[in-house]
Amino acid sequence: MSAIVRIDIQPLSARMPRPWVPGAPDLHLVRVDVEDAEGRTGSGFSWTPTIGASAVAALLSDDIRAFALGREADPRSLWPDLWAHLHEAGGGGVTTIAMAGLDLALWDLHARQQGVGIAGLLGRRHERLPVYGSGVNLHYTEDELAAQVRRWIDRGLSAVKIKVGRPALAEDVARVALVRELIGPDRELMIDANQRWDLDAATAAAEALSVFEPAWIEEPLRADDTAGFRELARRIDIPIALGENLHTVHRFREAIDGGFAGVLQPNVIRVGGITPFLRIARLAADAGVVIAPHLLPDLSAQVAVCLGAPCWVEDVEDAGFDALGLLSAPSPVRIDGAWAHVDDVPGLGLDLTAPDLSKESL
């Protein structure tokens, strides 16, 4: 195995057509390029939607680069050693987000070396996966929310997800009722509270919203409230989905062993890249827990088509890399109506760029 001889870091940003947070209209990534001693190259990225990009870039530029240079360009063997090295700075969060950039770059290098895509390297098991429409829409008016749902219906989607957690529960009830009426009884409806409730508020909300038969209720509590999730799962019948803010395999195992994980939603970047994502997916499969990767369909769908059981692909409206103008060539992940397809292109197939991309490595 050849050694890593170069690691370049480049931040980039894109203005979102539909900002997830009104006061933070830009999405941020950090591109990572690697080269090994044989001159082979790979490119990956870290992702921080609204905050933290400078901290991630600094960790990559300093501690991660210093540790990784001269080591074998093998993501599976490098990842645990790098994680142990960085653990004093935190077992997850900024550390694992930064690690993902290097991990993806190394997977890209190896896939390109073999002339295959990530799906070809890992072993494709599905030709396509179902898509659900996802909206960061808590700040939308009811008219705006209804218009978004109608766009999803027009696309032929069989499942949609909306945000809940408005100041008054009655507002959530009215909005969920509106969406259920629009999509009818045969489409799946998911609801996402983004950690906005405490245990009692989540219990009351689940009781009020259960009449609309949600397929899952996502992050009703703070992601680190293990005791609260365990008790909430005892109180309610709606499956609980969580995982976008869990960062290590240990936290996912805790959620499974605690009996409150109805659906696990690891984010490939936040857990540290493809290497730990595969381990988490195996853990979920062994436990019989449904997995539904969080966001980033341009990346997550490439890995998801290699999992044993088919799973949902989350498609947030106008948030794909193509739509954001971040790619120099079309994404290998094509979302056509209600289905996601992964084309066979070398490596990750994601050549990230942007008009304001820095031309100098940090």
Residue 293 in contact with residue 303, Cβ under 8 Å?
Answer: yes
Among the options 28, 126, 161, 163, which is catalytic?
163
d(C-alpha 4, C-alpha 6), whole Å? 6
The question of whether 161 is a catalytic residue gets the answer no
The question of whether 359 is a catalytic residue gets the answer no
Residue 292 in contact with residue 320, Cβ under 8 Å?
Answer: no
In which residue are the tokens 């987000």 written? 97
d(C-alpha 159, C-alpha 46), whole Å? 28
Widest pairwise Cα distance in the chain: 62
Point out which residues pair with 316 in neighbouring strands. Answer: 134
H or E, element range at 163: strand 159-163
Could you tell me which of 186, 132, 130, 191 has the C-alpha nearest to residue 160? 132
Residue 307 — left, alpha, or beta (φ > 0 → left; ψ -120 to 50 → alpha)?
Answer: beta
Q: What are phi and psi of 308, to 5 degrees?
A: -65, -50
Which residues are marked as active site? 163, 294
